[in-house]
């Protein structure tokens, strides 16, 4: 059963005022939307290199036509369901495991330069581990994954989402459960303008790590030709 694996993306529809709201405090809204579009395209490029199917869980309701028009109809699209982020992630895992998937990892869209090797390593780790997690620099996590037979919904319950305590509290739940967890390298996300500036400095050295984002930042003058 663990041979069947997929990658879940949690993505928002590219609507002004709905994506990257913290970044939009320092940048024009339509620019932020188009930047977000590049983030997701770069992430999908990495996922395609793994050869694994992607299941895109989107928000808000009614946005599937916009998502399909943007990302293509070759992917499976599902509406995120639940009153908060924890419920939505737990429901997404439950949904894909009900479809017969044996291993699944879930990622957000704030990491356009995340190496495809990390995604591959995450899926491979689930052949010998119950779960996998990738800690983020800000104290959260950028990736989490499970096997169908070791899924632990309690890691999503009563978490202080958006705070620096999420990763540690999640690990405490894992440790209490006795699950064998694989820890990926730490990575940083892009939430606000300072994060973006730091990301740009790194991207200048390795433009191929997020080529769509690099070209867009060059186009708007944030990276000089």
Question: What would you report as the CA-atom Rg of the chain, rounded to the nearest whole angstrom?
Answer: 17
Does a structural domain hold residue 151? Answer: yes
Does a structural domain hold residue 40? Answer: yes
Give percent above pLDDT 70 in the chain: 99
Tell me which residue range forms the domain holding 152.
5-189
Does a structural domain hold residue 215? Answer: no
Residue 5 pairs in a beta bridge with 103
Does a structural domain hold residue 219? Answer: no
**Which pTM does this prediction carry?**
0.95
* Average pLDDT of span 90-94: 98
Tell me, what CATH number does 35's domain have? 3.90.550.10
Does a structural domain hold residue 134? Answer: yes
What total of structural domains would you count in the chain? 1
Does a structural domain hold residue 41? Answer: yes
pLDDT digits (tens, 9 = 90+) for 155-201: 999 999 989 999 999 999 999 999 999 999 999 999 999 999 999 99
Does a structural domain hold residue 21? Answer: yes
pLDDT digits (tens, 9 = 90+) for 24-35: 999 999 999 999
Does a structural domain hold residue 222? Answer: no
């Amino acid at each position: 059963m663990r041979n069947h694996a997929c990658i879940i993306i949690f993505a928002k529809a590219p609507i002004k005022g709905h994506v990257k709201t913290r970044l939009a405090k320092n940048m024009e809204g339509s620019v932020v939307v188009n930047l977000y579009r590049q983030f997701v395209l770069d992430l999908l490029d990495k996922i395609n290199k793994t050869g694994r199917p992607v299941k895109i869980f989107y928000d808000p309701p009614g946005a599937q036509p916009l998502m399909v028009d943007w990302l293509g109809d070759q992917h499976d699209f599902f509406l995120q369901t639940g009153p908060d982020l924890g419920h939505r992630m737990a429901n997404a895992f439950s949904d894909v495991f009900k479809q017969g998937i044996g291993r699944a990892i879930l990622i957000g869209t704030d990491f356009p330069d995340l190496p495809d090797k990390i995604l591959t390593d995450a899926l491979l780790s689930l052949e010998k581990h119950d779960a996998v997690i990738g800690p983020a620099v800000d104290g959260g996590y950028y990736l989490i994954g499970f096997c169908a037979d070791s899924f632990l919904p309690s890691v999503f319950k009563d978490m202080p989402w958006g705070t620096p305590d999420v990763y540690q509290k999640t690990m405490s739940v894992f440790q209490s459960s006795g699950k064998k967890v694989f820890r990926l390298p730490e990575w940083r996300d892009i939430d606000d303008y300072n994060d973006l500036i730091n990301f740009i400095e790194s991207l200048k050295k390795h433009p191929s790590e997020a080529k769509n984002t690099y070209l867009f930042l060059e186009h708007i003058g944030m990276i000089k030709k």
